[in-house]
Structure 1
Amino acid sequence: MVDNSLYNTEEIIRLLKPEQIGPDQFVGQSHFMGSPNIFGGQTLGQSLYAAGITVPDRRPHSMHAMFLLPGNHQLPVEYEVERVRDGGTFSTRRVVGTQEGRRIFVMSASFQVDEDGLSHQKPAPPMSDPDALPSSLKVWQERGISTGRAFQPVPVDFRTNRDDNLFGGQVDSATRKVWVRAPLPLGDDQLMHDAFFAYVSDYGFLWTALQPHGIRMDDPRLQIASLDHSIWFHRPLRMDDWLLFSMESPNASGGRGLCFAHIYNRDGVLMASATQEGLIRLRESKK
């Protein structure tokens, strides 16, 4: 039985299915993530699902998003899908997300029919057994209690062998490996698995760019926000099976940090790749 104090998986599954209100027009509800701003993963997942509804029998192979303005978690997001092109093999969609007439998010996605082709991949890194690692959620929950900050349930389990440095604060390499899996079966809707993956891919991505500088996520000087986010879906993935996010940050400069991720299943097969650049400003402390 799923512990509702730790997980909100079913809520997120419902959230990721925006309501269709007209031809190529959708409305997605918002939810609270501990911040007055909408979680970026929400718009990533909802926009991909909305676009996918307009492309039957083709799966997304890439999506590229830009976060334009902070979204208000108390308001829904309206999505308009533009059918840019439908070819013999590929389809292209552009999605614009708005709140109160303001554009807060833009995404482009490409979909492809299933086909065979040449195959190779970047080898998987050394992997721990996720079933032998403790869940990070209890650590997060207990830390929230000790610091007086409410723990917000999450839709997946996170497991890593570095919980001692989970929230930063110590100078470390710009690499991180985290196992992820939903705590319950999610069915066989591949578009939902892809949208759910897009949602989860925004969790803690930018933390990797903070590690070489010993900056904690709760540092009061830190201003951090996603600027853009891209995903390439290499092979059909399932979010109710363990996936390893192998992340690195090759650069931070100009108040921005860049992060890459390669995502593998337990057999070491490369399922997806992702990139994100985000704002990581350190503001001067008020005296």
Structure 2
Amino acid sequence: MSENKTPEDLVAGLVRLLTVTREGENSFTAPQQPGGVGRVFGGQVIAQALQAAQATAPAGLEAHSLHAYFLRGGKEGVDIAYATARDFDGRSFANRRVVAAQEGQPILNLTASFQRPEDGLSHDDTAMPDTPPPEDLEPDMAQRRALVERLGERMSDDQRALVLRPRPIDMRTSDKLHWMNSEPRAPRAHSWFRTVAALPDDPALHRAVIAYASDYTLLGTSALPHGLSWMRGELVGASLDHAIWFHRPARADEWLLYATDAPWSGGGRGFNRGRIFNRAGQLVASVAQEGMMRKRVKKAD
């Protein structure tokens, strides 16, 4: 934890980051990540685009799904504009389309669907994996520090700063993620997450934070069978698309289990799935993502 930032400071910064400013009836801007370096985190763009869609949704309707395509890598230090189209407004459902752009170039397209809450036929045919509770696991930041010490000078200053940057999301992993392990293993991972301090009682914000956190660990799951890592410079990759289905309300400042698996990789791509459970074992969201994944070719000396 940074000497200058409390957990409350970090979460307040996340809330600011995910708060969009209306510039017109259907246009918004969002703040940049303070001190951001390199490429914008994909979860940030997804969450900000969702916030823009939610800001134009009819009263009483809640986001139940989103589908996003990453077109170009966003750059830190450059404003992102979000243009929203109101494609459909019905009595039970509505649809919004959002284009995120930097310097006039689209970087992400997102479509979100909204529904008026209602009672209906219900079943839940997936069980939460049996995994240690978050209280028995150390924060991922401790493992990140150990990784930096192990890699030493093989990491650039920017990589080191990115890995050690204090985060508003506390993640605790019961498995070795791709950046902690070089031995091939089954493409499955289990991580608990929650914000490091309480969030405001705004369901739309909690959905946005869950969308933000859903981009953590997901693409790396498809790297596990290969024993390779982006963090160690062994892979080149980028998210291609990302989809989320919100099944029931959940608080992002209470522990949620993110269980990910990758049933397939090939052709320079990896396909990943995620299930998010609350502490009661209820499925609160499902996630799917495909990303580019290529083994880095070392340049000849």
Q: TM-score band (shorter)?
A: over 0.9
Higher mean C-alpha deviation, range 142-151 or range 9-18: 142-151
**Does structure 1 retain, via aligned residues, the 8 Å contact 2:169–2:193?**
yes
Asked if structure 2 preserves the Cα contact closer than 8 Å seen for 1:32 and 1:73, the reply is no
The match for 1:208 among 209, 214, 221 is 221
Q: Is the 8 A contact 1:246 1:263 kept in 2?
A: yes
Superposed, 1:158-177 pairs within 5 Å as 158-163=171-176, 167-177=180-190
Q: Name the amino acid aligned to 1:249.
A: A
2: CA distance, partners of 1:28 / 1:165: 31
Contact 2:238–2:292 under 8 Å retained in 1: yes
- Note if contact 2:219-2:291 (Cα within 8 Å) is conserved in structure 1: yes
What residue identity is the alignment partner of 2:139? S
The TM-score with structure 2 as length reference comes to: 0.90
1:6-17 matches, cutoff 5 A: 8-17=10-19
**C-alpha root-mean-square deviation of aligned residues, in Å?**
2.0
TM-score of the superposed pair, with normalisation by structure 1: 0.94
What is the 5 A alignment of 1:79-118?
79-118=82-121
Match of 1:247 in 2: 260
Per the alignment, do residues 159 and 118 of structure 1 end up closer, same or farther by CA in structure 2, a change over 3 Å counting? Answer: same
User: Judging changes above 3 Å, is the alpha-carbon distance between structure 1 residues 203 and 90 closer, same or farther for their aligned structure 2 residues?
Assistant: same
* Closer, same or farther: CA 140–34 of 1 in aligned 2, 3 Å: farther
CA 1:184–1:228 in structure 2 vs 1: closer, same or farther (change >3 Å)? same
Q: 1:49 to 1:64 in 2, by over 3 A?
A: same
The Cα of 1:29 is off from its aligned counterpart by 1.9
Structure 2: distance between partners of 1:39 and 1:246: 20
**Which residue type is aligned with residue 239 of structure 1?**
A
Question: Against the structure 1 CA distance between its residues 216 and 266, is the aligned structure 2 distance closer, same or farther, given a 3 Å change threshold?
Answer: same
- Please say which of residues 160-169 and 189-198 is displaced more in the overlay: 160-169
Matched, 1:75 2:82: no
SS at match of 1:22: coil
Which secondary structure state, in structure 1, belongs to the residue aligned with residue 193 of structure 2?
A: strand
Counterpart secondary structure, 2:292: strand
Which structure 2 residues correspond to residues 140-155 of structure 1 after superposition, within 5 A? Answer: 140-146=144-150, 147=152, 149-150=160-161, 151-155=164-168
Higher helix share: 2
**Are 1:233 and 2:237 matched, yes or no?**
no
Counterpart in 1 of 2:31?
29
Match of 2:211 in 1: 198
Structure 1 range deviating more: 206-215 or 146-155: 146-155
1:9 and 1:145 mapped to 2: Cα distance? Answer: 27
Q: Secondary structure at the match of 1:37?
A: coil
Residue 2 of structure 1: how far off its partner (Å):
9.1
C-alpha contact 1:180 1:244 (8 A) present in aligned 2 = yes
1:128 aligns with 2:132: yes
Q: Quick one: distance in 2 between partners of 1:133 and 1:69?
A: 36
Q: Aligned partners of 1:220, 1:183: CA distance in 2, in Å?
A: 29
- Asked if the contact 1:4/1:153 (under 8 Å) is kept, the reply is no
Aligned-pair CA distance for 1:145:
4.9
- In the alignment, the residues of structure 2 paired with residue 76 and residue 218 of structure 1 have an alpha-carbon distance, to the nearest angstrom, of 27
Instruction: Please report how far the alpha carbon of residue 218 of structure 1 lies from its aligned counterpart in structure 2 after TM superposition.
Output: 2.1
